[in-house]
Chains A and B, each alone.
Chain A
Amino acid sequence: MRTKRLNPIVVKELRQGLKSKSFLVCFLGLQAFMVLSMSIYFMNTNSSGGLRGAEGFFWTLVGMALLFFMPLRSFFGIYNEIRNNTLELLFLTHMSSNRIAAGKWMAQAMQVLMLTSSILPYFVLRYVLGTINIAQDFRTLGILLTLSLLLLAFGTGLSAWKSKLIRFLIIGGIVFMLFWLPNVLIVFAFGGMSGILPGFAWNPLTFLLLSAVLILIFLEHGASIIAPPAENHTRPKRMLSLLLFSVLYGTGVLRNSEAWLIASIAVLFPYCLGTLSQPVSGIPSLYKRPRCLAALHGFFLPGWPSALLPVLLIIGIPVLTLHANFPRDGRYLHLFPVLFSILFLPVAILELFKVRLHRWLLFYLLIHAGTFVLGVILLIIDQIQKAMHGGDPLHTLLNLFPFTALFQMTDRASLSLIHNWIPAGLSGLCLLLMLPRTLRPMRALTRIARSPAPHHAE
């Protein structure tokens, strides 16, 4: 009887991982520093200042181990299989790309749990010394552990990229998006930085739910990169994104929180970029139709035509909800065309110039980088002109560049619905014109794949 109870990758990774120098150094190093930290506790039992210092040292060590050293190893998880030419051999077994990615993550997670359980005796010791609130400590440890598992999944997903440049660009892009876009949106919505978003309160359930969905998304991303072409990963990717959107948007609606609604746009924005930077490829007929979602099969094929509606909904629904619940002089309506332009302008350009499929992602990213840099230069020129001669000479031009339009929107005086709609309208028009041409080769491929294998004359 053949079963698939235990993921073989977990066994292999644990066999290798526990013998690796990096794990041994991390494990033994942490134990040594823990002993040192306990000595500091013993020496400062009568000094509250000294205890606070020991406490800081203790949590810094735990944080470094869980949030830095262990996740760092995950960035080589799948990459090692690619480098060693072993990935293809795994695909010829019964392993799917999802099992490989999940196995890598689970093995790393087990090592993190091992490391965490090895420091539990020091918690007990600190409790005996009477220096801690045990409930508070375990809560903090739980948060650190969850974040560590999240980072492991992020590293594992990213390790599927062979190119270091792409890995670097993705990390940079996500960090940039997650810091810059929410900041712009906060400034845009509330007219200034208040440090913390109003109404942006966490609860453990939302935190755990969000972490779980993000872990699945990161692992799915890694699996989709290494998967053979016949595996359609667009479906699970879009389903998971829908789940993430539901959690964020649902929290926003239930709490009537402007901040959570803004977060649903900001967090899903990298996903929208990802799905639109995916070229229209593959043979749709090869992809099995899910029984329960057969009618929606067309929305789960790779490429921008099938992503058009989901992306419009992911941006449109929160924007409309924000506009309905928090009118703010109709400011949120301006967001839609600008975000639409940012997402779809490169697609329109790529379709117009018939860029080859395998260069699609690179050019998509380059167009974004190019328009961003150009926009920033124009913005600087505009600011210099404004300072020297007054007025706003490049105002109209700036509104035509998606990223600078977003900058401009933070300035209440610059809101211009007409200007913001120009690039969005142009992109939309291009996409509509290109849609039939894009779908034509997909139909041809479907016909070829569906035709029966020819019979040989013996």
Chain B
Amino acid sequence: MSEPLVRVHNLTKSFGKLLAVNNVSFEIQKGQVVGFIGENGAGKTTTMRMMVTLEMPDFGHIRINGFDALNDPGEVRRRVGWMPDAYGTYDFMTVFEYLDFFARAYGFEGKEREMRVREVMEFTDLLPLADRPMNKLSKGMGQRLCLGRTLLPDPDLLVLDEPAAGLDPKARIEFKNLVRLLAAEGKTLFISSHILSELEQMCDSLLFISGGAIVHHGSSESLKNRDGQAAIVRVELAEASDKIDEWISLQPGVALLDTDNLGVRLTLENADPQSLHLLLNGLLRDGFKVSGFQRQEIRLEDAFVDILTRGNGGGGV
């Protein structure tokens, strides 16, 4: 296997008594699109900030394209593009002026700067907005501008923190298309998000973090088809029953996932046909009027919740 573009080893960071990132290790190959998933406060942003040299780790090493983030922060910064969840705006500045300023700050001069700004504006479809004041942009336009700024130095690695947060569906699709284009160009992307289904579509592999520690690293398929992964069953009832929750809690190897007006979703530790048969029989025997019984495909959200509830750190970290 070739040298990974990103190599994070034993990364640890505390803020006072809070252990934000705990012994995190992972690798990202060149050209991969990796999703970074975790609940609020799991340590996603802190990990990303350490990767882009904005935070100092208490312990551990980060190497980007062979350069150490601690000893060569300047070299790492030249190779990394960072898009934070909230980008700052400047008063009295247009979209073009903003990109032009950052192009200057990245060291582009004269014609080269003009060309680079134009290229980025074309790629992010910002040319029609060139003269618009940047504080008059919608959230989606702002995210495109922020991505444009990140792309200016043509970085090897793009680190995007919650890029789709707060976007309307149309802007989200546009943004997803931009990510696909970048991936097609061979860029390495590291994206954090809460919207797991979107990451599933965009990413080659997923990295799950919880309580500051990595709990899974692998493709979405490997996550869903893990050994011991629970089966999801949807049970629809002709008549709503208050006793179903209590009944489920008494069944070994069965847990309630969620409920709605029509029925419940359950997880079964054993997904073999015999267990499913026993479950259905049990429901009918105990007087529940079952109108539907269906095994469902495991969603990424379910797999993630399953990992968290089991505290299982499987996968190829």
Residues of A close to B149: CB separation below 8 A: 89
Q: A2-B108, A84-B90, A456-B27 are in contact. Are A228 and B102 (CB under 8 A)?
A: no
Decide if A228 touches B54 in the complex (CB within 8 Å): yes
Q: A229-B56, A230-B56, A456-B9 are in contact. Are A19 and B92 (CB under 8 A)?
A: yes
A458 to B9, CA, bound (A): 13
A6 to B149, CA, bound (A): 20
A11 to B91, CA, bound (A): 14
Is A194 an interface residue, CB under 8 A from the partner? no
A90 to B77, CA, bound (A): 11
Decide if B104 touches A86 in the complex (CB within 8 Å): no
Is B68 an interface residue, CB under 8 A from the partner? yes
Pick out which of these stretches binds chain B: A91-99, A143-151, A345-353, A385-393: A91-99
Is A46 an interface residue, CB under 8 A from the partner? no
Residues of A close to B90: CB separation below 8 A: 12, 16, 84, 86
Residues of A close to B73: CB separation below 8 A: 228, 230
Contact of B7 among A3, A12, A456 (CB under 8 A): A456
CB distance from A4 to the nearest CB of B (A): 6
A5 to B112, CA, bound (A): 15
Q: A15-B92, A20-B91 are in contact. Are A2 and B86 (CB under 8 A)?
A: no
Q: Which residue of B lies closest to A9 (CB)?
A: B105
Is B107 an interface residue, CB under 8 A from the partner? yes
Decide if A88 touches B92 in the complex (CB within 8 Å): no
CB distance from B190 to the nearest CB of A (A): 15
Contact of B88 among A9, A86, A449, A454 (CB under 8 A): A86
Q: Which residue of B lies closest to A17 (CB)?
A: B92
A91 to B107, CA, bound (A): 13
A228 to B1, CA, bound (A): 35
Q: What 4 A-B pairs come out closest when comparing CB atoms? A: A8-B104, A84-B88, A93-B105, A86-B88
* 25 A/B residue pairs, CB under 8 Å, sorted by A: A1-B109, A2-B107, A3-B109, A8-B101, A8-B105, A12-B93, A12-B97, A15-B93, A16-B90, A84-B88, A86-B88, A89-B82, A89-B149, A90-B105, A92-B52, A93-B107, A94-B105, A94-B107, A228-B53, A230-B70, A286-B71, A448-B59, A453-B63, A454-B10, A456-B7
Name B's A-contacting residues (CB within 8 A).
Answer: 1, 7, 9-10, 27, 52-54, 56, 59, 61, 63, 68, 70-71, 73, 77, 80-82, 84, 86-93, 97, 101-102, 104-109, 112, 149, 153
